[in-house]
Chains A and B, each alone.
Chain A
Amino acid sequence: MEDVVIIDYGMGNLGSISNILKKIGYSSTITNDLQIINNAKKLILPGVGKFDKAISNLESLHLIDLIRSKSSRGTPILGICLGMQLLAKSSEEGVLPGLGLIDGRVLKFSNDDDLKVPHMGWNLLKYNSNCPLYLNFDILKEVKFYFVHSYYFEAENPMYIASESNYGISFSSSVWKDNVYGVQFHPEKSHKFGMMLLKNFMNIPC
């Protein structure tokens, strides 16, 4: 069995995720096959694009209930970028409900203060060192990741915030609840930082 399954629901190029996993020594499968996803030890939910389109793609592939069931069975799940936002209950970008795996909603950055939206580029993280994703990050002088997004996750409970970053306002750049993790940035485009984070995710016991 592969180490991790990357869910393919037609939102973006997933090649760099499987390649960076290979680079750090893990095999992955990119698929939307229900059986393979159901048996996966770990799941990555990637995604670039619009919230409603993503949810309706998941719906039509019968993946919504399956992802929820995997989450309740304790399978470690990592949402990346839009994949993180899908974990919320709702998004200002759309009208469809999210997966609701982490209580929170997705809001749009306001255009005030000459803030350029999308937020795009490398940015720093203030992380919770108790979160398994940031294991061993304390040895680094600075922790930065690459972001491209116009919407951000607002967790209902600060307990769920795994890291914060600043872009005009402080926002949750990653969230975490039990076995479900979400990162707003792109670990697969953040070279050594991304490799460390993904290695940590892959090392989470399942």
Chain B
Amino acid sequence: MLKSRVIPVLLLKNNGLVKTIAFNKSKYLGDPINAIKIFNDKQVDELIFLDIQASKEDRTPDFELVKKIASECFMPLAYGGGISRVEHIQKLFSIGVEKIIINSAVLENQSLISEAAEIFGNQSIVVCIDVKKNFWGKNQIFCHVNNKTIDLDVLEHAISCQNAGAGEIMINSVDRDGIMKGFDLELIAKISSGISIPLIVCGGAGSIEDFKNAKDRGASGIAAGSFFVYHGPHKAVLISYPSPETLEEYLS
């Protein structure tokens, strides 16, 4: 029953779909609604949408766009980007989002997590932590809003978010974003063994073997961007998703 979930992560910028490399160099891929329609046909069990501009621009989620997206999703939808208040979360659930993802709003203070978990239940609250290695190879938490790393231990932060009421932790490796050379397995093993809630991992997936490696290190959810939107050595834009048989073979 508890097969690892395989989750495409789609990034929104100026109403369009983009893919980044190391949180930079965003490349326009196309229209988000078209992408959802393709993922509907592929019977994807879950989708993640992240608006990578909202918090940077200090604005709320684009509720109209999210509503359009939710209406097209024939699978549960998790949304992140620009969420800083309980009212945003309330509104997102009312327009058809199943889970919300908080990141920069809880770096310093986790009270939004506990407030939200109290009202909506912890299953629907995901905390995403962006992780970047410093010059000496030490993992640091990265804040994409001001482009700075924060002197906070990744595992300690994950645990305090868990204790505040998060239902899932998502770890996103900044340096591996868009590189497609594999997940940070050491980090996955460390975080998954240190928390008791499900861990979603993102950043680096380039092959189905990478999924298996992440699963073997304790990831419950395996998320990826490039893997699902690019094809071939020249990274042509082509949306794909492994067949149920392939997923069964590698992840059961």
A residues near B (Cβ < 8 Å) are: 12-13, 15-16, 19-20, 23, 48, 116-118, 120-122, 124, 146, 148, 150, 188-192, 194-195
Contact flag A191-B43 (CB < 8 Å), given A13-B95, A16-B96: yes
B202 contacts chain A at the CB level, 8 A cutoff: no
Q: Which residue of B lies closest to A120 (CB)?
A: B123
Interface size class of B (residues with CB under 8 A): 20 to 34
Q: Quick check: A122 and B45 within 8 Å, CB to CB?
A: yes
Contacts of A116 in B (CB 8 A): 121-123, 167
In the complex, the number of residue pairs spanning A and B with C-beta atoms less than 8 Å apart equals 67
The main secondary structure of chain A at its interface with chain B is mixed
Give complex CA distance A118, B67 in Å. Answer: 23
Q: Quick check: A20 and B123 within 8 Å, CB to CB?
A: no
| Residue from A19, A120, A148 within 8 A of B72 (CB atoms) | A19
Given contacts A12-B94, A118-B123, A146-B98, 9 further A-B contacts (CB under 8 A): A15-B67, A15-B70, A16-B74, A19-B74, A48-B93, A116-B121, A188-B74, A191-B43, A191-B74
B34 contacts chain A at the CB level, 8 A cutoff: no
| Residue from B43, B71, B75, B94 within 8 A of A15 (CB atoms) | B71
* Centre residue among B68, B71, B77, B93 by max chain A CB count within 10 A: B71
Contacts of A194 in B (CB 8 A): 74
In the assembled complex, the CB of A162 is this many whole angstroms from the nearest CB of chain B, namely: 21
Instruction: Give 14 pairs: A residue, B residue, CB < 8 Å, sorted on A.
Output: A13-B67, A13-B70, A13-B95, A15-B68, A15-B96, A19-B71, A20-B74, A23-B40, A48-B93, A118-B121, A118-B124, A121-B123, A124-B1, A146-B76
B170 contacts chain A at the CB level, 8 A cutoff: no
In the assembled complex, the CB of A62 is this many whole angstroms from the nearest CB of chain B, namely: 24
B44 contacts chain A at the CB level, 8 A cutoff: yes
Q: Quick check: A195 and B96 within 8 Å, CB to CB?
A: no
Contacts of B70 in A (CB 8 A): 13, 15-16
Contacts of B93 in A (CB 8 A): 48
Q: Which residue of B lies closest to A18 (CB)?
A: B71
B21 contacts chain A at the CB level, 8 A cutoff: no
In the assembled complex, the CB of A83 is this many whole angstroms from the nearest CB of chain B, namely: 15
In the assembled complex, the CB of A117 is this many whole angstroms from the nearest CB of chain B, namely: 7
Q: Quick check: B74 and A148 within 8 Å, CB to CB?
A: no
B159 contacts chain A at the CB level, 8 A cutoff: no
Give complex CA distance A137, B167 in Å. Answer: 32
Give complex CA distance A117, B124 in Å. Answer: 10
B73 contacts chain A at the CB level, 8 A cutoff: yes
* Centre residue among B70, B74, B75, B77 by max chain A CB count within 10 A: B74
| Residue from A117, A124, A195 within 8 A of B121 (CB atoms) | A117
In the assembled complex, the CB of B90 is this many whole angstroms from the nearest CB of chain A, namely: 11
| Residue from A12, A20, A122, A150 within 8 A of B96 (CB atoms) | A12
In the assembled complex, the CB of A54 is this many whole angstroms from the nearest CB of chain B, namely: 13
